[in-house]
Amino acid sequence: MASNFSFITDEQFERLLANGRMAVVCQARDEHFDPFPVLKLFTPDAGATWLLSELDEAAEVAFGLCDLGMGYPEIGFVDVRELAALRGLMNRPIEQDRHFRATQRLSAYAKEARMAGRIQA
């Protein structure tokens, strides 16, 4: 399956889907699943950042660490179509941080972000 979103490469899309499938399996087994984020998205003209780790099979809802720039980053779900439609203050779309390489699991990024009041990846 290929990504329909310009800000997600096909390889990242497949990794996000694989993590989403694994999350479902782990949930069914009542096991904890804490993957590494696959990609980092941000608004170049606003203060929002996302570290995404999973995508559902319908490729509509992603899971990860979400920071809307208000000092309260949280782990949760985001509609990928809404991300695609999102525009910042100067009408610029979201972009991928092409230099981001996850060095820790999502929960570690979330802990750091909560302490700092923003994602610091």
Q: In the chain, what are the domain boundaries? A: 10-116
pLDDT at 1: 61
- What distance lies between CA 67 and its chain's CA centroid? 10
pLDDT band at 74 (very low <50, low <70, confident <90, very high): very high
Q: What is the pLDDT of residue 121?
A: 87
Give pLDDT, residue 58. 83
* Residue 67 clears pLDDT 90, i.e. is over it: yes
Q: How confident is the model at residue 75 (pLDDT cuts 50, 70, 90)?
A: very high
**Residue 96, pLDDT above cutoff 90:** yes
Tokens of 14: 């497949």
What pLDDT is recorded for position 84? 92
State the pLDDT at residue 88: 85
Question: What is the separation, in whole angstroms, between the first and last Cα of the chain?
Answer: 28
Alpha-carbon span 57 to 115, nearest angstrom? 32
113: which 2 tokens?
Answer: 């972000």
Instruction: Supply the mean pLDDT for the chain.
Output: 94
Tell me the average pLDDT across 91-108: 96
Q: How far apart are CA 104 and CA 121, in angstroms?
A: 10
**pLDDT given at position 5:** 87
Summarize pLDDT for 1-48 with one digit per residue, the tens: 667 788 999 999 999 999 999 999 999 999 999 999 999 999 999 889
Q: Which residue is listed with tokens 């899971």? A: 63
Q: Residue with structure tokens 């700092």?
A: 116
